[in-house]
Amino acid sequence: MHSANVFEVAQKKGWWKPADGPLDWTSVYGDGEFHHPYYSLRRVWRAQSLVAPSLHLSPWVDGPFTRAYAFAVKPDQKLAVKDIFAIHRDYYEGTEFDLTKGLAAGPFGDPVRFEGGAEALSGKDGSLSGVKGEFERPLNIYRCVFAFVNQSRSWLPAAIGGVTWFGPDRPATAVLMPFYAGAGTLPKPIQTSDILKLDRGSMWSAFSFVANQVSLKYSFMIKDLRSVRDRHENRYFGTQQALEAKALALWNKGDKKGAQAFLAKNAEANAASVLKDWWALSEQLYVRYDDGYLNTKEGIAQAVFYPAWWLKLVGYEQGPVSYKKPADK
């Protein structure tokens, strides 16, 4: 599928001629990677490496038009829905590009790397700076609006066999919830969002709010978040078979509207439960880590100091440890 004049324009512009062989869309109509080297290719490498580690793919290639990564790869093992979740949520953990490591991650391993206007940096006066450089771009990027995994099962009616696991905001800090094709509607919290308003009735607001909280003390807070997130997702997977069996029984009796209502009611209940738990999580994180401490029933204001490696790098040892003026002042 292509525009009728795709070959004509390329020839007219001098970008391609039939003697060059088949028209390569990427090289003729683009410059390969958008914005910077490995903007997309690093993600391709990571996703393919996660599903087929036996390929031993290199994260380094010779240029944007590399053929080192196939259009598609066969996974080493069958993939479950959860395996696709993990790909969406990846920060290159355990690789040389691990965004939870290093000075840029701060003392608590925050993997978020913000992009400025045109991915520029701010100077001391707040203006855009000409500092050259880049951060790695992960599969799970902070400005992600939503993530989903579509699951199809041909042995079930399309209304039941087709389910979208969907979560607004970035997938690593969101719950991916099942929404069936036959439900006919989506819960209000899923359909509600306004970037200029903190709406407690919006799932996107709840997920985005907590995701920003977690960046404050990531290595601690992400554990609290995962315990809530995984509890919901594990429940979905654990009850999926029974849920679909009930919907199928209604469907086979000819009560398609009943099956639709049943699936819609389940989605409403799931959304309400997650929304409630997420705002409760935001409050829990505030109380538990207020003012940089760890507050639990076992102890209030437990000290959680910065790691030694980070203190050394940021000049902690050169702080006011003596009344004597340092030689370099």
Q: What is the DSSP string of 174-187?
A: S--EEEEGGG-S--
Q: Indicate whether 175 belongs to any domain.
A: yes
Q: Indicate whether 24 belongs to any domain.
A: yes
91 in Cβ contact with 211 (< 8 Å): no
Where helices occur in the chain by DSSP H, the ranges are: 6-12, 25-29, 41-51, 81-88, 158-161, 188-191, 203-214, 218-252, 256-288, 308-313
Residue 83 and residue 182 in one domain: no
Among 55-69, 116-130, 148-162, 217-231, where is mean pLDDT lowest?
116-130
Nearest-angstrom CA–CA distance, 53 and 94: 13
Q: 3-class SS at 61?
A: coil
User: How many residues are listed for the chain in this entry?
Assistant: 329
Q: Indicate whether 133 belongs to any domain.
A: no
Is 130 a residue whose pLDDT tops 80?
no
Nearest-angstrom CA–CA distance, 100 and 159: 41
Instruction: Give the tens place of pLDDT for each residue, 241-271.
Output: 999 999 999 999 999 999 999 999 999 999 9
DSSP 77-145: SPPPHHHHHHHHT---TTSTT-TTSSGGGTTTT-------GGG-EE-TTSSEE---------SS-TT--
Instruction: Give the tens place of pLDDT for each residue, 152-207.
Output: 999 999 999 999 999 999 999 999 999 999 999 999 999 999 999 999 999 999 99
Q: 3-class SS at 150?
A: strand
The confidence band for 12, taking pLDDT boundaries of 50, 70 and 90, is very high
Residue 170 and residue 284 in one domain: yes
Residue 186 and residue 281 in one domain: yes
Residue 284 and residue 165 in one domain: yes
The reported pLDDT for the residue numbered 122 is: 47
Choose among 108, 145, 146: nearest CA to 224.
108
Residue 92 and residue 202 in one domain: no
The confidence band for 119, taking pLDDT boundaries of 50, 70 and 90, is very low
Q: Indicate whether 198 belongs to any domain.
A: yes
259 in Cβ contact with 251 (< 8 Å): yes
Number of C-beta neighbours around residue 239 at 10 A: 12
Counted domains in the chain: 2
Residue 61 and residue 109 in one domain: yes
Q: Indicate whether 181 belongs to any domain.
A: yes
Residue 259 and residue 153 in one domain: yes
pLDDT > 70 in the chain, percent: 95
Query: Whole domain around residue 222: which residue ranges?
Result: 146-296
Choose among 214, 212, 187, 213: nearest CA to 202.
187
Number of C-beta neighbours around residue 189 at 10 A: 22
Residue 110 and residue 154 in one domain: no
Residue 46 and residue 159 in one domain: no
Residue 199 and residue 65 in one domain: no
Number of C-beta neighbours around residue 149 at 10 A: 20
Residue 185 and residue 84 in one domain: no
Q: Indicate whether 131 belongs to any domain.
A: no
What are phi and psi for residue 162, nearest 5 degrees?
-100, 115
- In Å, how far from its chain's centre is CA 103? 22
Q: Indicate whether 120 belongs to any domain.
A: no
Residue 232 and residue 287 in one domain: yes
The reported pLDDT for the residue numbered 1 is: 83
The reported pLDDT for the residue numbered 33 is: 83
